[in-house]
């Protein structure tokens, strides 16, 4: 709100050039903005890092409570070299992909069935809704009793975490396909298969994909929880392990890896989305 949008609209983007008499400092700043803008975001992290470094250096806080950034970095490198990190990462990735895969397929099928058949929805939706009211963590003790604490538990819980948003978004996406499209399709005499492949799927794709990305976020969250609570390997276990030994450098290194991997996987999903949705932009 600090800028004046209306003025900004009519104003041409100032070109790069020497400081003319009529140009204010503000304009100069704006010219420099494309370079400075990405760097501005780095200011705060660098400041925090500096503060952290100083705090560790002068031992303002006990190193058991806040290890030095260099210690975290060294631990990270050591874990990477010894293969400890790669092993745990591989296990976590396998779990999350297996669980997410199951949840994705299940969610798509369930959502599509509920979206396409009102009868099916009448029967299944209330139960599905009740089922989704209980968060992943609510199911955890029950599932531990039923299937033990092996891989099955992790895959089921991660699948549940992914299934709910995928199914809900698929359902909403299909329900929100505008009626006019159906009319057009009917005018063209589309058969059911054509209707599904050429109209419903493209029209509902954006919300469905949104659900897929949400599902993945939830799956990743569920993975960490399950590994924190019931696991002897994986990234989450690494965190618990470090915590139990009071080695916060291990904890922080593992937390950082969890964050980075989650971020990268989410970005990968976003990349897939672009080519798949490109037709929308050229279509109009």
Partner 1 sequence: MTIVVQHKGAFSRSREKAGDEGVGLAADVSPHPHPLPPAGEGAVSPRVPAWALWHRVPRPLRGWVIPVLLLATWWAAVQFGWSHSPLLVPLQKVWSTGVEQVTSGQLAVALGASLWRDLAGFAIGAGAGLLFGTLLGVSRLAERLVAPSFHTFKQISLFAWIPLLSVWFGLGDAAKVAFLSLAAFFPVALNTFEGIRAVPRELLEVARVFAFSRWQLLLRVVLPAASPSIFTGLHLGLIYAWLATLGGEYLLVSGKGVGNLLIDGREHFGMNLVLLGVIVVGLVGFTLNWIASRIERRLLVWRGASARFH
Q: Which of residues 57-116 bind partner 1 (CB under 8 A)?
A: 64-65, 115-116
Asked if 217 and 211 count as a contact pair (C-beta separation under 8 A), the reply is no
- Residue count at the site for partner 1 (CB under 8 A)? 96
Our finding on whether 175 is near partner 1 (CB under 8 A) is yes
Our finding on whether 248 is near partner 1 (CB under 8 A) is yes
Task: Specify the residue, 7 or 274, whose C-beta has the smaller distance to partner 1.
Answer: 7
- When binding is defined by CB under 8 A, the residue of 22, 178, 275, 283 that contacts partner 1 is 178
Our finding on whether 228 is near partner 1 (CB under 8 A) is yes
Task: Specify the residue, 2 or 22, whose C-beta has the smaller distance to partner 1.
Answer: 2
Task: Specify the residue, 80 or 217, whose C-beta has the smaller distance to partner 1.
Answer: 217
Our finding on whether 125 is near partner 1 (CB under 8 A) is yes
- When binding is defined by CB under 8 A, the residue of 14, 34, 63, 126 that contacts partner 1 is 126
Our finding on whether 200 is near partner 1 (CB under 8 A) is yes
Taking the complex as a whole, the smallest distance from the CB of residue 18 to partner 1 amounts, in Å, to: 26
The one segment of 14-22, 50-58, 78-86, 189-197 that binds partner 1 by CB under 8 A:
189-197
Taking the complex as a whole, the smallest distance from the CB of residue 253 to partner 1 amounts, in Å, to: 11
Supply the Cα-derived Rg of the chain in whole angstroms. 26
């Amino acid at each position: 709100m600090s800028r004046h949008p209306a003025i900004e609209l009519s104003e041409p983007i100032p070109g790069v050039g020497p400081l003319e008499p009529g140009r204010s400092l503000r304009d100069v700043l704006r010219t420099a903005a494309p370079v400075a803008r990405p760097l501005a975001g780095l200011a705060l992290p660098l400041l925090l890092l500096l503060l952290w470094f100083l705090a560790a250096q002068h031992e303002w806080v006990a190193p058991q409570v806040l290890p030095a950034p260099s210690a975290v970095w060294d631990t990270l490198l050591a874990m990477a070299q010894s293969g400890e990190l790669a092993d745990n990462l591989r296990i976590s990735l396998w779990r999350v992909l297996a669980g997410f895969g199951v949840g994705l397929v299940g969610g798509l099928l369930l959502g599509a069935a509920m979206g396409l058949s009102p009868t099916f929805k009448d029967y299944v939706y209330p139960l599905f809704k009740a089922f989704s009211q209980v968060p992943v963590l609510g199911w955890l003790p029950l599932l531990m009793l039923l299937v033990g604490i092996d891989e099955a538990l992790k895959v089921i819980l991660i699948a549940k975490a992914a299934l709910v948003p995928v199914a809900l978004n698929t359902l909403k996406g299909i329900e929100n396909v505008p009626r006019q499209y159906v009319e057009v399709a009917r005018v063209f005499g589309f058969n059911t298969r054509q209707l599904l492949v050429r109209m419903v799927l493209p029209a509902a794709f954006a919300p469905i994909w949104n659900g897929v990305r949400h599902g993945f976020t939830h799956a990743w969250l569920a993975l960490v929880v399950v590994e924190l609570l019931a696991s002897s390997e994986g990234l989450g276990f690494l965190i618990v392990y470090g915590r139990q030994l009071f080695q916060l450098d291990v904890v922080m290194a593992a937390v950082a890896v969890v964050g980075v991997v989650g971020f990268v996987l989410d970005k990968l999903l976003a990349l897939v989305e672009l080519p798949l949705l490109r037709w929308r932009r050229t279509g109009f």
